[in-house]
A and B are shown apart, each in its own frame.
Chain A
């Protein structure tokens, strides 16, 4: 199972990368929203762990783009955020994400959530031309 971690916090990214790799996941990391989007097309992850505040575009912008893309809108997204802005949190929750988790992330809860994503996985749809 491929996981894309999109977070500009290098400490958090490395923590997640190491934790997930130890559990057999293949992990790709992006430190800003633009490169997260680029990697999304290349890696075709089975799940995305997304920070909401990153350079090069916000996580909410990333979710909007993902929701508009037929090839990507079904990829489960788990938001991991330190934001306390209720408006941003509400918008994230209303963007079709699997879960919103506060930082510092509870790794046990993350494991359970990813297991649930894994068990509900269906075959990947074909990529649309140009995406």
Chain B
């Protein structure tokens, strides 16, 4: 099934003090549809894979932060960032990127705060993806 030509993006509500500016969209629909070549069935399948993988990756990040395991944080945040990129989930992607950098540089001072923010951004991205699919694939 091909996507309709919808280039709109879903902007996030203003977030206080976060790493991703509020002007960055939760979901860049145009980018997402370009990546799946307008194939909504493929998009649905990829979203299902993402929704299944996401809790495990967030749990790995949480445990890496708790254990102060910088390498673990870097690797899990990197994998999650890569998956988020496929959906144009820019806000969540930016926070994952910040966490990946913290892990790489072994600077985990504010990692717990970033991990919480990431969970919130990912939840918004998942909701936006579900909403879009419900809207676009009746």
Contacts and interface: CB of A to CB of B under 8 A. Distances in A.
A20 to B, nearest CB: 13
Interface residues of B, number: 21
A86 to B, nearest CB: 11
A9 B50 CA distance: 9
Contacts of A107: 35, 37
Interface in A4-18: 8-12, 14-15, 18
A74 B78 CA distance: 29
Nearest to A51: B82
A83 B97 CA distance: 9
A103 B36 CA distance: 13
A82 interface: yes
A10 B49 contact: yes
B82 A12 contact: yes
Given A11-B53, A14-B45, A14-B46, A55 B75 contact: yes
The main secondary structure of chain A at its interface with chain B is: loop
Interface string A19-43: 1000000000000000000000000
Given A9-B82, A18-B42, A18-B45, 16 more contacts: A10-B49, A10-B52, A11-B49, A11-B53, A11-B82, A11-B86, A12-B86, A14-B45, A15-B42, A53-B75, A55-B75, A82-B81, A82-B82, A84-B97, A103-B86, A107-B37
Interface of B: 31, 35-37, 42, 45-46, 49-50, 52-53, 75, 78-79, 81-83, 85-86, 97, 104
